[in-house]
Chain A
């Protein structure tokens, strides 16, 4: 994972609540054995109609959302299936951060492991962002602050280790493997055999 310190972008707004990972990437695209190139399937069934033509009404098909890397979504974003294909698809599409009042656990974990930054905000900050699509925001991971172009600047919660991994681009597998001696002694001492 590449180190990330700051994201500056305009926002795309999807106010719907409970957007699940089946909507982020439908199951029929999960037969891939690679993690590359999934951006073209991001929100596929919302983006395209039955014949594969773009749904004009869908927000990502509007020209003004091109190049916007921050997604502001309704409450409980990323619920449902544990598929890591969801953050893979969002990142490959170009998203770098997701802002919501609540982000589902497994999706949040998966996102952090791939460098998609989950930003949880209070209801009033959320309302402000939902009301003004295309707002320019700056997300500073070091200081855990979200700054909105109207001057609002707020702190958002992030696990210290997750932040450290994002800032340093830490390989978490390498981190666990540094503890291999502890793992071995745990295996020897455990009172039962699984």
Chain B
């Protein structure tokens, strides 16, 4: 890792993985350390290998699981799969077959390690600082929270990585986002990242890799850092990264796929180099303060349409795209979101389904009841988180309040497994996308933090979580 001039965290990881340098005529060939695969974006890639008679080059660098099309009710037989729908069941079975045929270990239904791709990578310690990580899934940016260069790819590229462990890539640009100050009580990493997207726009990061820096970022725990990096793609960025530090090492230490013993010490020494040097060049820089932020909620049909929970929805109705979004959402300009009734509350997804998230939601729900007519669904990000949460009694807090407690999966974040929001219903969701129809045809999604989602479930209307905080 010899840098002649000051480099960014991104530059260092990138440079370490260039197999063939880029030129004016050809992109770089970049080596991939960890390839995460799931059932939705891989079947056509495996078909390609079959057509060409190619094996998988490095089965040892693949982490395979099933999360999108999987039921969140227990699965012990094939029949149990059918609740997710016929297509979903077929896709899950195809994944099992592909992994068997190509010799890939699959964390399937019998595994305690099964879960959402972006939750289990860090949880197992497979996600590590300085690695290049890809997955046929845009929220691969999540893994950047540990100082990895991690980004989503398409299915054709999944095929390239399966066959060669490499990708053709043009070097992206860099965007520094510095966040100063501290988040107030009741305001979380989710609110911070929503505020960032609101500030730079849903295309603000296009063609860039973001590095999040500053006091407000380094004081976040790993779960919160993952929430921030997760939504980098919602700002259009390829990836989001945070330099590894003590918090990162503490999180990784002892995890099953993290280095152990003497290897651990060597790894930490190497990881300690992974930070942007003083004077390193970023193509763009943005800064904001975390201290003034309030809990954030979206009101429109993309994550950049976001306001403080008590603020009035802005009036930009002269813009046809803005008007279309408000019409779809059945939301009026000029009123705060707290005036709207809630039908569904979803706590889950790779953005907010880790133990801290569930704990934050449970702390608000504890000893209270979900409002009449509201359906609240809590879906842990992995089977391990489910188990850990149950050991803390969180499942009983949720079920006693009238919420549903499920098996791990993507669930209502994308509505591919039968868990959907019905047409016209308003959902307060801890997921990452409020696109038209994302949670089901005609669903109206309000993105929020686990605390805001939990408070909204209790109130029956979109709620500021701060009055609901309990000691």
Q: Is the CB–CB distance between B41 and A105 below 8 Å?
A: no
Give the Cβ gap from B315 to chain A, nearest Cβ, in Å: 17
Contact A161 B26 (CB under 8 A): yes
CA distance A50 to B267 in the complex (A): 55
Please give the distance in Å from A112's CB to the nearest CB on chain B: 10
**B438 near A27: Cβ-Cβ < 8 Å:** yes
Q: How far apart are the CA atoms of A79 and B170 in the complex, in Å?
A: 19
Please name the residue on chain B nearest to A107 by beta carbon.
B154
A79 to B34, CA, bound (A): 25
Q: Determine the distance from Cα of A177 to Cα of B156 in the docked complex, in whole angstroms.
A: 14
Interface set, chain B 160-208, CB cutoff 8 A to A = 160, 163-168, 170, 172, 202-203, 206-207
Complex contact B136–A159 (CB within 8 A): no
Contact of B154 with A106 in the complex, beta carbons under 8 Å: yes
**A26 and B441: CB pair below 8 A?**
yes
A87 to chain B, nearest CB (A): 8
B441 touches A186 (CB 8 A): no
Tell me which of A33, A83, A109, A172 has the highest count of chain B C-beta atoms within 10 A of its own C-beta.
Answer: A33
Chain B contacts with A in 25-58, Cβ cutoff 8 A: 25-27, 29, 31, 33-34, 40-41, 43-44, 47-48, 52
Q: Judge if A34 is at the interface, Cβ distance under 8 Å.
A: yes
Assembly CA distance A79 to B237 (angstroms): 10
B415 at the interface (CB under 8 A from A): yes
Q: Mark B204-248, 1 if CB is under 8 A from A, else 0.
A: 001100000000000000000000000001001010000000000
Q: Flag the segment in A10-18, A63-71, A91-99, A137-145 that touches B.
A: A10-18
Inter-chain contacts of B233 with A (CB < 8 A): 80
Do residues B168 and A175 form an inter-chain contact, with CB atoms below 8 A? yes
Task: Name the A residues within 8 Å of B320 (CB-CB).
Answer: 15-16
CA distance A109 to B167 in the complex (A): 12
| CB of A1, distance to nearest CB on chain B (Å) | 9
Q: Are B153 and A23 in contact (CB under 8 A)?
A: no
Given contacts A164-B25, A179-B29, contact A31 B416 (CB under 8 A): yes
Segment of B83-91, B349-357, B451-459 engaged in the interface with chain A? B83-91
State whether A31 and B206 are in contact (beta carbons under 8 Å apart), knowing that A82-B153, A110-B154 are contacts in the complex.
no
Please pick, from A22, A33, A109, the residue contacting B154 in the complex, using a CB distance under 8 A.
A109
Report whether A110 and B19 are in contact in the complex, using a CB–CB cutoff of 8 Å: no
Do A173 and B423 have beta carbons less than 8 Å apart? no
Q: Say yes or no for A76: interface residue by CB 8 A criterion.
A: yes
Complex-state Cα separation, A16 to B94, whole angstroms: 37
Distance of A164 Cα from B27 Cα, bound (Å): 12
For the complex, what is the distance from the CA of A16 to the CA of B302, rounded to whole Å? 12
Interface: B82 (CB within 8 A): no
CB < 8 Å: which of B157, B236, B324 contacts A79?
B236
Interface string of A72-89 (1 = CB under 8 A from B): 001110011111100000
Interface residues of B in 295-345 (CB under 8 A from A): 302, 304, 320-321, 324
Indicate whether A194 reaches chain B with its CB closer than 8 angstroms.
yes
Report if A105-B164 is in contact (Cβ < 8 Å); known contacts: A82-B41, A192-B270: no
- Give, as a whole number of angstroms, the nearest-CB distance from A77 to chain B: 10
**CA A106 to CA B33, docked complex, whole Å:** 20
B residues in contact with A22, CB < 8 Å: 433, 435-438
Chain B residues near A121: list those with CB within 8 A.
none
Chain B residues, Cβ within 8 Å of A194: 33-34, 61, 128, 131
CA distance A183 to B234 in the complex (A): 33
What is the CB-to-nearest-CB distance from B343 to chain A, in angstroms, rounded to a whole number? 17
> What are the interface flags for B136-158 relative to A under an 8 Å C-beta threshold, 1 for contact and 0 otherwise?
11100000000000001111110
Given contacts A80-B433, A105-B236, A109-B154, contact A50 B442 (CB under 8 A): yes
A-side contacts of B391, CB under 8 Å: none
Contact residues in A for B168 (Cβ distance below 8 Å): 161, 172, 175-176
Q: Closest chain A residue to B321 by CB distance?
A: A17
Docked complex Cα distance between A75 and B24 (Å): 28
Of the A-B pairs whose beta carbons lie under 8 Å apart in the complex, a sample of 27, sorted by A's number, is A16-B321, A23-B436, A28-B415, A31-B85, A31-B90, A32-B87, A76-B202, A82-B137, A82-B153, A104-B203, A104-B236, A106-B138, A106-B152, A106-B154, A106-B238, A159-B170, A161-B168, A172-B156, A172-B168, A173-B163, A176-B166, A176-B167, A177-B164, A179-B20, A180-B164, A182-B19, A194-B131
Task: List 5 tightest A-B contacts by C-beta distance, closest first.
Answer: A31-B87, A33-B43, A110-B154, A194-B33, A84-B154
B residues at A contact (CB < 8 Å): 19-20, 24-27, 29, 31, 33-34, 40-41, 43-44, 47-48, 52, 61, 68-69, 85, 87-88, 90-91, 94, 128, 130-131, 136-138, 152-157, 159-160, 163-168, 170, 172, 202-203, 206-207, 233, 236, 238, 266-267, 270, 302, 304, 320-321, 324, 414-416, 423, 433, 435-438, 441-442
**Interface residues, chain A, with chain B CB atoms under 8 Å away:** 15-18, 20, 22-23, 26-28, 30-35, 45, 50, 74-76, 79-84, 102, 104-106, 109-110, 113-114, 159-161, 164, 172-173, 175-177, 179-180, 182-183, 186-187, 190-192, 194
